[in-house]
Structure 1
Amino acid sequence: MKKLSRRLFLGNTTALSLAGFFGLMPAADKSKQNKKGDFVHHVYFWLKNPESAADKAKLIEGLTTLKKIKPIRLARIGEPASTNRDVIERGYQVSWLLFFDNLEDQEVYQKHPVHLKFVENYSNLWDKVIVYDSVDV
């Protein structure tokens, strides 16, 4: 039997530990991926005054207040990217992207007092809203 030095032993165990850790990384990443039934709610806002930076900032301020509603798993506020292809819609001023665990959580969000207050306080800013809801398959 070959004698194993302490240095060789530590090197081998470190290498095996790292290999094990990185070998598990794809499994960990997979757990972060959407599961079937996840509910995605994407809202696009066209402002009444699309050139008004103040109106846009006010709408973003209002959307930020919605982030504290509990069933929301992930929320993102966006604006049109600089991409330019025929299939890209860039006429809106602000987008609101939400992820929920399921349809029921999204319905809780819709009826939540903070959401209802948002609509009451900020709906005067937009001229048009389009919503795309989808369920992960």
Structure 2
Amino acid sequence: MERRKFITATAVAVTAGSISTVLAATTEKKGPVYNHYLLFWLKKDLSEKEVEDFTGFFKILSTLPYVKSIQYGKPANSSPRKVVDNSFTYNLVIQFGSLEDLEAYGKLPVHLAAIKKYSVYWDRMIVHDSILS
């Protein structure tokens, strides 16, 4: 085989192998994920600094056991539509490996203390727990 054809064939084989490895990894079933999704509407009279300081709540939660992943943010500036509700101040997504982990997390003293400390910041908070496959 000519050198150029050999190099091309090798590159195609390596690329195809890499793609199939990535596809296998992304489609592999790893069991359900328990998703803990929260929306926070902070009080209107908070200063910008207080709104920013509220992220300390998320930082505390990120250190707790049982948490597989945690992300938080503010509403996206997406186009207004009837189905879009961007009225909240922050959202939080925490994922757990089992319902037992989610339930144990909810009872941790540090979790309860963080809620007590930061609940004075919000007017409204709502939780959606779901199982993701």
* TM beyond 0.5: yes
Partner of 1:95, secondary structure, is: strand
Report what 1:89 is aligned to: 85
Map 1:1-137 to 2 at 5 A.
Answer: 4=1, 8-31=5-28, 35-49=30-44, 52-83=47-78, 84-137=80-133
Preserved contact between residue 56 and residue 94 of structure 1 (Cα < 8 Å):
no
* CA deviation profile, 1:50-83 (whole Å, cap 9, x unmatched): 6631221121122112111121111111111112
Evaluate the alpha carbon distance shift between residue 80 and residue 11 of structure 1 in structure 2; reply closer, same or farther with a 3 A threshold: closer
Tell me the C-alpha RMSD between the 2 structures: 2.1
> How many residues are aligned here?
132
Gaps of 5+ in 1: none
The 3-state SS of whatever aligns with 1:44 is strand
Residue ranges of structure 2 left out of the alignment (5+ in a row)? none
Percent identity at matched positions? 30
CA distance in 1 between counterparts of 2:118 and 2:48 reads 15
Question: Partners of 2:89 and 2:18 in 1: how far apart?
Answer: 43
Q: Once the 2 structures are TM-superposed, how far is the Cα of residue 5 of structure 1 from its aligned partner?
A: 5.2
Cα deviation for residue 128 of structure 1 reads 1.0
Check whether the contact 1:39–1:133 (CA below 8 A) recurs between aligned residues: yes
Q: Report deviation, 1:91.
A: 1.7
Contact in 2 for aligned 1:63/1:118 (Cα 8 Å): no
Displacement after TM superposition at 1:14 (Å): 3.8
Tell me how far apart the structure 2 counterparts of residues 28 and 7 of structure 1 sit (CA, whole Å).
Answer: 32
